[in-house]
Structure 1
């Protein structure tokens, strides 16, 4: 029987196309084959830049004996979690329920209706550290299926019932007291020594940091002054610690997925688009010298290393790359250094200087005497900064000669939406048109390849549109977009309205929002993560909590709030408030997992702030626009004069020939101002 992955879109699936395992893609045909043969379905979920996915593949899926056993006793299905987040979400919930933890690679065994009766993550090829080998697990599962069918059906029925018990989410308003309480909870979980929250491992808490940024720029009163002070401290400490540690690429820019230690020293080296897309905007919005530098370097990394020939952005760079000395694939081989390597690249004096500056030691901060590069103290002296720039350029040239990590070049709609928003913020706030141009190019790809028109809807003339999840080499894959695709892409398009003034992006964004409101809404006012017409799984996933990227819930809230500000359409504001109310319970219990929703809530409680800057192009208009864009949570558009195609600009004119800013907050508009100082 041939392997069925050769025609897949996903680079992760293509990595397994030559395995001796007779893999299938997720499909009804795979389940039909399992029923025909009366064997269970073995579901393996991972992604291309996952280190332990590669390990398990080399140990087990490339092993002929293991593959032969799988082929005889199972129908094996391989899923890219980034391509099918709906499948991943359902079975990750099952894995967590059965084992108490989740992660990738994820291994789940299903009955013929898709109900799980066994779940786990990585299994070694030999018994190790108290874990059975993968072959032992397979043999036990096959024996249970054949000889203990009643037990298998009982477990599957229990898990099916558990997965189906989503129910309505409790609804409550988001209040100022809830926001203050969230900041207090975050302060209790804050690591005062190293920044961030909790202990190791540490992921970039990007969405929480944006909440703290918005709170920290609030006007203080006696009642909330301590909250603002706490927020400022946690934001500044964490942003500096992440940017100075080994999780940040001190040579080429961009952040790794997470740090394995408390102090941000050693990363898990894969670089994900969704992290860097969010962080480039966050650091640009900080308005600090460090923030501007990191934002520029990260934006340059995105364009240099993740941009595809079609103008979109690839999903990830692998953690592993071939070790030049051995040829074996090793985690971090591309990024780690020894003092001797620095001396070889830079000479004795500059090599010693670089080792001290970057904390590269003889013992090593990573593995096998190598170190990650840290930059805890950016030089203040202009001469030292020039020296650093020369050293970084030389080391980057040397590193470019090393074997490079693999690239997952599929384009994920949601993550490109995040990149569009982040690059727009960086381009506008740092005065770099190149970044806005890159955002436009990515949006053009999404509009051309991913967005599918479904005709006009009776909702004010906007076009209802659907979206496809992934593409590769300019060709869309077959998988429908999930809620986060709609929210993140709509937000990206709305960022482009503000960056370029092009009303086309407003039409596309509202079309996506209308389609989502029509097909994803839940009876409680929240959302499901899949459209009502999507493939029916053993359960319909819905998760209001943020993970490494915004949830579908929170991304939709931001998009709806921005759409309301630009169009004045009350239904978008109403929908945002209803969705936000369904997140309130989780936000009160676990603000670390609702940071993006709480950031939107903070903006909604304060207004939100809507700014139209109109008048002749020139320094005066530029100064007003720059100030407006620095206001936390503001939606700001710029034009020569009044325009009907962007309702926020309708009727807005220059004041006595001078550029003016029209500011509205909380349904109340102030008189137009012509001085940036009057914008607050």
Structure 2
């Protein structure tokens, strides 16, 4: 018999619909059931691509005896953290308040009112890994709930107070400045592994915000080793096992300290951020590796992660047929069977493949190969690459016949927004208008299905959709990421070959940013609340500011405000940016390393340059402006008959130009116009 999760749309929740656990969806009715039955709530949070979520499900949630204990003692609620990141964040913060490390699956114990009083992550069915058996935990928690309500109430109240703490508003605090970022740069650089890139130690995560920070610091400080660290990291990642050398795309992280053994899940948001770094690094260094990985990753996105309507799916699972990585790894006999002995030996020299393998897959006691090029001293020659390419294609074709990892085909506004902007930025860097077409389809898929109008007539976004089910209201990051996506499309709308529909992307960016101001700004602190003010099913609204694997709404909103100020010359946006930077100042000053995303936005705000292109026959200048590094430029193309907003510093000069001209403006001042690509390049080469 199916449980209530059979009604869900989320692939993660549907994975558990046939569990013997009486799972409930997160809802007021589920909380009311706990209240009526005087039972605590067991809240289990995970996501479809999570390997250890699968392990706990197979061990415990599919086990009738364990499920019987859960059903007897608890009201059991299952949540997809991607579908409801607001709920996930609340209880993850509570878990941290208990002094526990976070992670998924997250297993939290709540009062019937939804207040957390204890929790953890993965609990094994039998006691091991230093963790107690799950049933032991269940019985102990239930006993405490009924026999020691005073302690339970005290725990819940302490956590509530911890979560509800308002950061101090420091009236006399110095405003944020790039001096803070400059002082942080050498400290962050010291954390980078000088041999294998990434942050030192294991596991290794891509950490795109940190490496964007070092990239920007290099530009400010002319400290060439910072960009070299970014180059090293991208090179090692792109040659490591964390990269899929046959199908493209990067896995979530590597379990070792040299990028060899990944947790094999692939997430849309990781690949969006990595794609932007690849584009910047290729533009600066010219490494063919970065270009190749960008093209392969976009190929993977189009082939495997795009639904029929053009929306981008959330993730690919780590597991297939119950084994982590089974889809991706090879035994030596398999390689010989597909390629033949001679070609297998040749291929193995480049991809670290041999009879002994390079990964001991413990569950089934075999040694397999994760394809990687970490052992290569020099890249393949053109002749070697010409021989390797068809061998990779042969292996890819055979791999396609295997049972594929599960696809989580939820379409989420925030993750799509991140990838849309990344595609446009990569398209302008590599001169690939086809990628803008891919981005445009995804953008309109989101707007057509997730946009709604609230009671006061304001345009807003829902968070996600799948199988006709829409999860709303949307979160702050949904609006911020889609506003940023809209601005990138607005900039690139006339790129040759892009074939964008006639559409007012700037108006969308303004509407989505206004929705943040209306429904997400906390009146007491001025910070952005993750959940909207009309979200009715959460116990507390939080205003997180620090970085995570997914960018924080504050950093993305600040990026948007800087770009809107340039695109419109409306001082309203600059005033909002100033207010938001002031609101985050205490948190950033107290812990700058946890807020590099905000410091990246500050760098754009203070050092970004607006390129105004106007006049007849301006296309070449316009495309040269688009091709400039996207991390520090904003492009404003003035169409025939259009005028600059009142007060724009280039307004007087444009009338006098008379022909195609570009103006590079920063800090309220524009340089003299240039009329050719060489002149624009010379201006952009000058440092602020």
Taking structure 1 as the reference length, the TM-score comes to 0.92
Q: Is this contact kept in 2: 1:299–1:426, CA < 8 A? A: no
**CA displacement at 1:103 relative to structure 2:** 0.4
Structure 1: which 5+ residue stretches go unaligned?
219-223, 323-328, 458-463
Q: Give the deviation of 1:494 after TM superposition.
A: 0.8
**Relative contact order: is structure 1 or structure 2 higher (C-alpha 8 Å, sep ≥ 6)?**
1
Give RMSD over aligned pairs. 2.4
Give the alignment of 1:166-245 within 5 angstroms.
166-168=166-168, 172-218=174-220, 224-225=221-222, 228-245=223-240
> 1:442-487: per-residue Cα shift (whole Å, max 9, x none)?
1101111111134888xxxxxx4211000114x3523321111111
Q: Are 1:411 and 2:404 counterparts? A: no
Does the CA-based 8 Å contact 1:624-1:661 persist in structure 2? Answer: no
* Separation (CA, whole Å) in 1 of partners of 2:633 and 2:589: 25
1:359 to 352, 363, 366: 352
Matching residue within 373, 376, 393 for 1:375: 373
* Structure 1 segment 222-301 matched on structure 2, within 5 A: 224-225=221-222, 228-286=223-281, 287=283, 288=286, 289-301=288-300
* Higher mean C-alpha displacement, 208-217 vs 646-655: 646-655
Tell me the secondary structure at the aligned position of residue 117 of structure 1. Answer: strand
Q: How does 1:658-673 map to 2 (within 5 A)?
A: 658-673=659-674
User: Is the 1:70–1:138 contact (alpha carbons within 8 Å) kept by the matching residues of 2?
Assistant: yes
Q: Which residue is 2:314 aligned to?
A: 315
Alignment-derived partner of residue 3 in structure 1: 3
Contact 1:211 1:602 in 2 (8 A): no
| Alpha-carbon contact 1:497-1:637 (below 8 Å) kept | no
Higher mean C-alpha displacement, 653-662 vs 26-35: 653-662
Shift of 1:154: 2.0
Indicate the residue corresponding to 1:109 in structure 2: 109
Secondary structure class of the residue paired with 2:142: helix
Q: C-alpha displacement at 1:546, in angstroms?
A: 1.3
Per the TM alignment, residue 153 of structure 1 is displaced from its structure 2 partner at its CA by 1.8
Conservation of the 8 A alpha-carbon contact between 1:587 and 1:594: yes
- 3-state DSSP class of the match of 2:4? coil
Distance 2:329 2:311 in 1: 29
SS of match in other structure, 1:65: helix
Aligned ranges for residues 64-143 of structure 1 at < 5 Å? 64-143=64-143
Structure 1 residue matching 2:109: 3-state secondary structure: strand
Provide the residue aligned with 2:339 in structure 1.
346
1:245-281 CA distances to partner (integer Å, 9 max, x unpaired)? 1111111111000011111111110000010111112
CA distance in 1, matches of 2:622, 2:609: 19
Residue 36 of structure 1 corresponds to which residue in structure 2? 36
Q: CA shift at 1:172, angstroms?
A: 4.3
- The whole-number CA distance in structure 2 between the counterparts of 1:310 and 1:538 is 36
SS in 1 for 2:313: coil
TM-superposed deviation, 1:586 = 4.4
Aligned equivalent of 2:148 = 148
| Count of equivalent residues | 658
Shift of 1:9: 2.1
Residue 146 of structure 1: how far off its partner (Å): 2.2
State TM-score, norm by structure 2. 0.91
Do the aligned partners of residues 573 and 365 (structure 1) sit closer, same or farther apart at CA in structure 2, a change above 3 Å counting? farther
Residue of structure 2 aligned with 1:467, choices 445, 461, 467 = 461
